[in-house]
C-alpha cells in the first residue's frame, strides 16, 4: 500500500496506532488491544472523548473492510429512512456539518462530514501532524478541513445514492497525492514560535 509520504522526519506508518481511527497509541494496554480507549468505548464516556462509539448517528460502522483497502459506501435496508441506513468503514472522529450522521450520493451536510472524517482518517494513517481546526465537536487537521469539500464532490457526492460503492484505496491515495502539495503542507504546518 502506498501512503503519501508527508515528511522525511516522520517514521513510517507505525504498528502502535489504533486499528479504527489510526491515531498514535502510547498506553501499553491500548497497544496490546490495538485500539485506543475512545474507539474501544473505554473513554471517559463523555461525547467529547468517545466520538467513535456514539449511538445517536443514523449510520453504521462496518470494519470488515479496512480503510487501507477501500472506502466502503453502502446501504442497509432499515427503518431510519426510505433509502436505508448508511454503512461505512470511516469512524466518527469529528462532527461539524451533520450531528445525526453520514450520508452519500449528494452534496449535503451528511456527505460533508463523511468526507471530513475520511480526510482526517487518511492523514492520521500517514502520521501527519499540522495545525488543527476546531469543529462543532472535536478538532480536525486544518489540511483535512481544506480538502474535505473537494473530496466530498469527487468521491462521496458522486456515489450512487441507493447502492453506494466501494472505492479502492489506490484511488483515494492517488487523489490525495495530487491534492496535497508542498505549498499546502507548508500552509497548514504547525507554526513554531520564533526564539
pLDDT at 137 (0 to 100): 85
Q: What whole-number distance in Å separates Cα of residue 114 and Cα of residue 121?
A: 10
pLDDT at 165: 96
Residues 47, 94 contacting (CB under 8 angstroms): no
Question: pLDDT tens across 66-113, in order?
Answer: 999 999 999 988 655 567 889 999 998 899 998 889 999 999 999 999
Residue appearing with cell numbers 499540522: 130
Best CA proximity match to 101, nearest among 82, 90, 89, 114: 114
pLDDT at residue 4 in the model:
53
Distance CA 145, CA 134 (A): 10
Q: Which of 173, 174, 153, 156 lies closest to 165, judged by CA?
A: 156
Q: Where does the pLDDT of residue 52 fall: very low under 50, low under 70, confident under 90, or very high at 90 and above?
A: very low
Q: Which pLDDT score is estimated for 40?
A: 65
Task: For the chain, give the mean pLDDT.
Answer: 81
pLDDT in tens, 142-152: 999 999 999 99
pLDDT-derived band of residue 117, with 50, 70 and 90 as boundaries? Answer: very high
Helix (H, G, I), strand (E, B) or coil at 109: helix
Please indicate whether residue 32 or residue 136 has the higher confidence score (pLDDT): 136
Q: Hey, what's the torsion of the CAs at 180, 22, 155, 188, to 10 degrees?
A: -30
Residue 1, pLDDT > 70, answer no
Residue whose cell numbers read 449511538: 55
Of 191, 188, 189, 103, nearest to 152 by C-alpha is 103
The string of pLDDT tens digits covering residues 122-142 is: 999 999 999 999 998 889 999
pTM, whole model, 2 decimals? 0.76
Averaged pLDDT, 20-34: 74
pLDDT tens digits along 151-186: 999 999 999 999 999 999 999 999 999 999 999 999
The 3-state DSSP composition of the chain as helix, strand, coil percent (nearest 5) reads 30, 15, 55
Q: What is the mean pLDDT of residues 54-62?
A: 77
Amino acid at each position: 500500500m502506498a501512503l503519501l509520504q508527508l515528511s522525511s522526519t516522520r517514521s513510517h506508518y507505525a504498528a502502535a496506532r489504533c486499528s479504527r481511527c489510526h491515531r498514535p497509541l502510547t498506553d501499553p494496554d491500548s497497544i496490546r488491544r490495538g485500539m485506543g480507549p475512545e474507539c474501544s468505548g473505554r473513554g471517559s464516556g463523555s461525547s467529547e472523548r468517545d466520538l467513535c462509539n456514539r449511538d445517536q448517528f443514523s449510520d453504521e460502522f462496518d470494519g470488515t473492510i479496512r480503510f487501507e483497502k477501500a472506502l466502503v459506501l453502502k446501504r442497509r435496508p432499515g427503518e431510519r429512512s426510505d433509502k436505508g441506513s448508511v454503512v461505512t468503514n470511516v469512524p466518527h472522529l469529528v462532527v461539524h456539518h451533520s450531528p445525526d450522521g453520514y450520508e452519500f450520493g449528494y452534496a449535503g451536510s451528511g456527505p460533508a462530514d463523511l468526507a471530513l472524517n475520511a480526510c482526517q482518517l487518511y492523514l492520521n494513517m500517514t502520521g501527519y501532524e499540522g495545525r488543527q481546526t476546531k469543529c462543532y465537536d472535536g478538532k480536525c487537521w486544518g489540511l483535512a478541513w481544506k480538502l474535505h469539500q473537494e473530496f466530498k464532490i469527487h468521491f462521496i457526492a458522486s456515489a450512487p445514492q441507493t447502492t453506494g460503492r466501494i472505492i479502492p484505496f489506490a484511488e483515494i491515495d492517488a487523489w490525495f497525492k495530487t491534492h496535497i502539495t508542498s505549498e499546502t503542507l507548508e500552509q497548514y504546518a504547525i507554526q513554531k514560535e520564533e526564539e
